[in-house]
Structure 1
Amino acid sequence: MEKYIYLFLTQLTVIIHLLFIFFVVIGGFFLNKSLWVRILHPVSVIWGVYAELSSGVLCPLTALENYFGYHAGLSTYEEDFITRHLVPIIYQEDLTRNIQFVLVVIVISVNAIAYSLYWKRRKLR
């Protein structure tokens, strides 16, 4: 029974991790929704870019996935979330440094658009 609890916690952590990545990429479009988004989103983007471009940095959610996965009898991994879960789906190859830079440029570009739209709407009020 304990193994199934850890399996559930592993899956839940993967879902939260994916939602965090979505928040990093598109959260800027929700800046006008609440103050907590305006505070949390820039910090999340900075962390996401830092974690993606810094070698050896392990996201706490990855560490949790490994911990729960280990106790559920699953194999653990050392690479980041994107490399482990998303790249095999999207690219079907290993994540290269160039692809990491492209992903970071996409995140920053999407957020630059979101923030500029937010500031434009604020000025119109």
Structure 2
Amino acid sequence: MSLHLAFLAYVLLGGFLAWRWPRAIVPHAIATGWAVTIVTFGFTCPLTPLENHFRAEAGERGAGSGFIEHYLADIVYPQQHIELLWAASAVVVLVSWAGLAVLLRRRSAVRG
């Protein structure tokens, strides 16, 4: 569960790490692409079976569905607002990437 939560936090906020460490944008873009693919095409995140396996090993019942559906939907936010949440998440990621572009442009202008 913690790994799932960390992954979601990284997808949402990892682009801001690239403001400090620009090379961090590459793994963030990969993670974001992975997350968008899972959401868009309805694939099961590979972390879900892994989480279910470790829960079963510990004698617990697995999450069954995906992390978001099991832990967040209808608990943290109502299901009817999921599209709004996805759009807001996309805006946060795009702002982090746009901010990186501005910072890199300014740095190159200072050097140039």
- Please tell me the TM-score bracket, short chain as reference: 0.7 to 0.9
Corresponding position: 1:109 with 2:96? no
Which residue of structure 1 aligns with residue 75 of structure 2? 89
Structure 1 residue 102, shift from structure 2 partner? 2.4
Which residue of structure 2 aligns with residue 75 of structure 1? 61
Which residue type is aligned with residue 72 of structure 1? Answer: A
Which residue of structure 1 aligns with residue 21 of structure 2? 34
Structure 1 residue 103, shift from structure 2 partner? 2.6
What CA RMSD, in Å, does the superposition of the two structures yield over aligned residues?
Answer: 1.9
Corresponding position: 1:45 with 2:37? no
| Conserved? CA contact 1:49–1:104, under 8 Å | no
- In structure 1, the residue corresponding to 2:20 is in which secondary structure? coil
Structure 1 residue 44, shift from structure 2 partner? 0.7
Q: What is the TM-score normalised by the length of structure 2?
A: 0.82
Q: What is the TM-score normalised by the length of structure 1?
A: 0.74
Which residue of structure 2 aligns with residue 5 of structure 1? none
Which residue of structure 2 aligns with residue 18 of structure 1? 5
Which residue of structure 2 aligns with residue 66 of structure 1? 52
Structure 1 residue 61, shift from structure 2 partner? 1.1
| Conserved? CA contact 2:11–2:32, under 8 Å | yes
Alpha-carbon distance in structure 2 between the residues aligned to 1:41 and 1:61: 17
| Runs (5+) with no aligned partner, structure 2 | 108-112
Structure 1 residue 88, shift from structure 2 partner? 4.4
| Runs (5+) with no aligned partner, structure 1 | 1-13
Aligned identity (percent) is 27
Alpha-carbon distance in structure 2 between the residues aligned to 1:117 and 1:39: 15
